[in-house]
Amino acid sequence: MSIIFDEKQQILHIKNKAVSYIMEIVDGKYLVHRYFGPSVRSYHKTGIPQYFKRGYATEHDISIPHASFDDLPFEYPVREHGDFRIPAFAAESASGIVYSDLRFSSFEVQKGKPGIPGLPSVFASEEESETLKIICEDPKAGIRIFLYYSVIGDLAVLLRHQEIENTGKKPLKLHNVQSLSLELPARSYDVLSLYGSHAKEANKNRFPLHHGIQRFESLRGSSSPQNQQFFALLSPDAAEEKGEVYGFHLIYSGNFLAQAECDQFGNVRAQIGIHPENFCWTLEPGETFSSPEAVLNYSDEGLNGMSHNFHQLYLNHLIPSHFARRPRPVLLNSWEAMYCDVSLEKIETQAELAKKAGIELFVLDDGWFRSGNTTRTSMGDWICNENKLPGGISAAARIVHEKGLQFGLWFEPEAVGKDSILYQEHPDWVIHVPGYSMTEGRHEYLLDLSQKTVRDYIKNMLHSYLKNGDIDYIKWDMNRPLTDVNSVLLDYNHKGETSHRYILGLYDILNWLKQTYPELLVEGCSSGGARFDPGMLYYVPQIWASDNTDAYDRISIQDGFSLLYPPSAISSHVSITPNHQTGRSTSLETRYRTASLFTLGYELDLTLCSSEELKEIRDQIRDYKQIRSALIQGVFYRHTSPDDNHLMWSVVSDTDCFVYIMQKFHDPLRSHGRFHLCGLDADSDYQNADTGEIFCGDELMKIGITVPLIKEDFHVFFLHFQKMELKC
């Protein structure tokens, strides 16, 4: 890992064993991108675009003959001087003019990886990371920009963010501050993104990059199930196991824009950052603004390579360290068993059965504070309904603790209903536009987290439940997008800051929670996976992936999220059959296996299970407890299956290999393909833990395995191989 400046060539080269990132300072003033990709020893200005005179173009004061700003690969582009591609930055001066001329000024190399005030970001020690800080300035406009580039060890990722300082005497309005802008050479690329909706998150969307702009975004105030704040540019031959991939991911939970532009000449510019629409941040003289952090990821080992880089980064440098590599408790969540109709008797019965099954944590989901048994009432006051739970939450916690289980509780701290005392007393604490009726979402509104008083109210409310130690886990839910975006406390100059300030407010509360209750396990949730993003993972080690608990639908949801997130961050539950969301029936074995490579929970009424099913659940949990340490240490692979009727995953640790193959539908014509394992030690032997058969690592990878013909839809084959000491 090193950051080198070649003064003669005016080249800045950030490198580790995996990647190089190279920039050139042209004519002492223009910061131009030269390369990002596999590591090179050093750089001698190879691969530079050859310019020639073109019509309908601008001319510039630059020593590169015929270079036009129209296709110069600017490191941090603005629109104003003839670069008409997507800009990374736009600021308006007090005169109302949107104009800046950012010139390279200086740079410095720092040990370590700086944090970003108020925002989640990757952390790393001084020994394992290094940061380049480049300063560009426009003194006339009063703008100084610090461009940050960090590398961590030999990980094939680069962390990027920007800090903007108002060095002038008048306010500046920031309209656009992208977290990352990358220039890639002209060639064919595929684009990959993850799209979806409530209960069908993280679907893969792959298509050839074409001329023009392709963009993925959220303007819903949070990251959203509609689009993940991610995209990748792939070599067209890329698959799970092979090919080149450039991945872009934003460590942020609010509105975002992720886009790639293929320009008139086929050059590509890729960007990710806060969505400029609805965003305007006023920077007073002397103030600074920090963008969220973006992750730039490179893999020449296909999509699995990209995923492994993200997984390593997030497990070791983002997710709270206290939990990141720790097996999580197997939980029973009350939602699909009780919905809002909760009672102490039900809790006691479920907890009793849960204990016998080996479950370690009972989670009381929604309903405990509702006046009725629907999600329509009582949101925001957080007063336990003692008609349902006499003695309150302490009584429920006591029952659960007495059974020897941990106790968890559901909250939706950001929401408020019109019937709440909170709303009656503090209507201005709610996001709304005065004089207009508010838009309801799931019968509720959102608190204005940009207000400190509101944040203090939420912290005090949570503290009142957490301080006496009754609660071991909370599920932090959020069930609607932001609308009527306005904070009554922000004046004209700051209205455009509302959405970002909402997210900063959320992070402030989550940070307080993490600092005050470091042992508390917090699970993120937003109508399932609507806020499944790396910003949240900085505060919470696991996130509920979807309200859809159907095992068949879950394979694509979990497969999609696994592109970015380590399996331990993806919470997955075994529920009842027929499934409540889809009506589909799958076997208990399939439901368990589909959840078991991830963070396992159960979400069903155990009183509806037969004694055989309860025994099966007990056996499953015993099995899971034996393998969960190896799973959390292991590397997760998605496999290319021999046909589209199967989906295959595996987890390979130093000692074990767990293989999951789902046969989607029984089809006698298509079930004899070979499934190739990967990531094994070719020279070691592996023993099938069930049958005792022994195979060579290379044999399992090169020849592969077959699975029997089973007359069942959604059948899962699960194999466990243990690595042996002796060689074939």
The answer to whether residue 240 forms part of the interface with ligand GLA (CB under 6 A) is no
> Of these, 104, 335, 445, 721, which contacts ligand GLA (CB under 6 A)?
335
Q: Which is nearer to ligand GLA, 198 or 401 (CB)?
A: 198
Q: Which is nearer to ligand GLA, 335 or 592 (CB)?
A: 335
Give Cα separations from 350 to 15, 308, 333, 343, 356 (angstroms).
Answer: 55, 38, 10, 11, 10
Identify the CA nearest to 292 among candidates 355, 223, 349.
Answer: 223
Q: Token pair 């108002």 is at which residue?
A: 166
Reading across the β-sheet that carries 694-696, which strands appear in turn?
635-639, 646-652, 656-663, 715-723, 685-688, 694-696
Burial 66-75 (b: 16+ CB within 10 A, else e): ebbbbbbbbb
Number of CB atoms found within 10 A of residue 382's CB: 20
- In the complex, what is the shortest distance from the CB of residue 333 to ligand GLA, in angstroms, rounded to a whole number? 7
Q: Which is nearer to ligand GLA, 151 or 557 (CB)?
A: 557
Q: Which is nearer to ligand GLA, 506 or 648 (CB)?
A: 506
- In the complex, what is the shortest distance from the CB of residue 367 to ligand GLA, in angstroms, rounded to a whole number? 8
Clarify whether 477 is annotated catalytic.
Answer: yes
Q: Which is nearer to ligand GLA, 544 or 602 (CB)?
A: 544
Residue window 450-489: x/- pattern of binding to ligand GLA, with contact defined by CB under 6 A: ---------------------------x-x----------
Give the number of C-alpha atoms closer than 13 A to the C-alpha of residue 264, restricted to the C-beta side: 11
Q: Which is nearer to ligand GLA, 12 or 525 (CB)?
A: 525
Give Cα separations from 236 to 190, 209, 211, 247, 640 (angstroms).
Answer: 5, 10, 16, 14, 16
- In the complex, what is the shortest distance from the CB of residue 441 to ligand GLA, in angstroms, rounded to a whole number? 12
Strands 599-603 and 293-299: unpaired
Q: How many residues bind ligand GLA (CB under 6 A)?
A: 12
**CB proximity list for 713: less than 8 A, separation 6 or greater:** 663, 664, 665, 666
- In the complex, what is the shortest distance from the CB of residue 530 to ligand GLA, in angstroms, rounded to a whole number? 8
- In the complex, what is the shortest distance from the CB of residue 547 to ligand GLA, in angstroms, rounded to a whole number? 5
Residue window 530-549: x/- pattern of binding to ligand GLA, with contact defined by CB under 6 A: --------------x--x--
C-alpha dihedral (523, 526, 532, 534), degrees to nearest 10: -70
Tokens of 557: 């949801």
- In the complex, what is the shortest distance from the CB of residue 528 to ligand GLA, in angstroms, rounded to a whole number? 5
Q: Which is nearer to ligand GLA, 189 or 362 (CB)?
A: 362
Q: Which is nearer to ligand GLA, 93 or 226 (CB)?
A: 226
Number of CB atoms found within 10 A of residue 299's CB: 27
- In the complex, what is the shortest distance from the CB of residue 589 to ligand GLA, in angstroms, rounded to a whole number? 24
Identity of the residue numbered 654 = D
Supply φ then ψ for residue 400, to 5 degrees. -70, -45
Q: Which is nearer to ligand GLA, 524 or 534 (CB)?
A: 524
Q: Which is nearer to ligand GLA, 375 or 406 (CB)?
A: 375
- In the complex, what is the shortest distance from the CB of residue 576 to ligand GLA, in angstroms, rounded to a whole number? 14
Tokens of 627: 């393998």
Binders of ligand GLA among residues 497 to 526 (CB under 6 A) are 525
Residue window 186-205: x/- pattern of binding to ligand GLA, with contact defined by CB under 6 A: --------------------
Binders of ligand GLA among residues 275 to 314 (CB under 6 A) are none
d(CA 164, CA 149): 15
The answer to whether residue 528 forms part of the interface with ligand GLA (CB under 6 A) is yes
- In the complex, what is the shortest distance from the CB of residue 204 to ligand GLA, in angstroms, rounded to a whole number? 22
**CB proximity list for 723: less than 8 A, separation 6 or greater:** 654, 655, 656, 657, 680, 681, 684, 685, 686, 697
Q: Which is nearer to ligand GLA, 278 or 575 (CB)?
A: 575
Clarify whether 623 is annotated catalytic.
Answer: no
- In the complex, what is the shortest distance from the CB of residue 475 to ligand GLA, in angstroms, rounded to a whole number? 6
Identify the CA nearest to 485 among candidates 469, 501, 473, 470.
Answer: 501
Active-site residue among 547, 550, 553, 656?
547
Q: Which residue is nearest to ligand GLA (CB)?
A: 366
Residue 657, burial from CB neighbour count under 10 angstroms (0-12, 13-18, 19+): buried
Residue 633, burial from CB neighbour count under 10 angstroms (0-12, 13-18, 19+): middle
Q: Which is nearer to ligand GLA, 366 or 656 (CB)?
A: 366
Active-site residue among 470, 477, 550, 656?
477
Supply φ then ψ for residue 417, to 5 degrees. -105, 160
The answer to whether residue 527 forms part of the interface with ligand GLA (CB under 6 A) is yes
- In the complex, what is the shortest distance from the CB of residue 224 to ligand GLA, in angstroms, rounded to a whole number? 14
Q: Is 545 helix (H, G, I), strand (E, B) or coil?
A: coil
DSSP state of 99: -
Tokens of 160: 């990027």
Binders of ligand GLA among residues 52 to 111 (CB under 6 A) are none
d(CA 412, CA 368): 12
- In the complex, what is the shortest distance from the CB of residue 581 to ligand GLA, in angstroms, rounded to a whole number? 11
Strands 190-197 and 230-234: antiparallel
Q: Among the residues of 262-381, which ranges form H helices?
A: 302-317, 321-324, 335-338, 344-357
Supply φ then ψ for residue 120, to 5 degrees. -70, 145
Binders of ligand GLA among residues 356 to 395 (CB under 6 A) are 365-366, 375
DSSP state of 567: G
DSSP state of 440: P
Binders of ligand GLA among residues 155 to 184 (CB under 6 A) are none
Binders of ligand GLA among residues 406 to 445 (CB under 6 A) are 410
SS (H, E, C) 408-433: EEEECCCEECCCCHHHHHCHHHECCC
Q: Which is nearer to ligand GLA, 20 or 546 (CB)?
A: 546
- In the complex, what is the shortest distance from the CB of residue 613 to ligand GLA, in angstroms, rounded to a whole number? 22
User: Which residues are catalytic, by number?
Assistant: 477, 547
| Chain positions contacting ligand GLA, by CB under 6 A | 335, 365-366, 375, 410, 477, 479, 525, 527-528, 544, 547
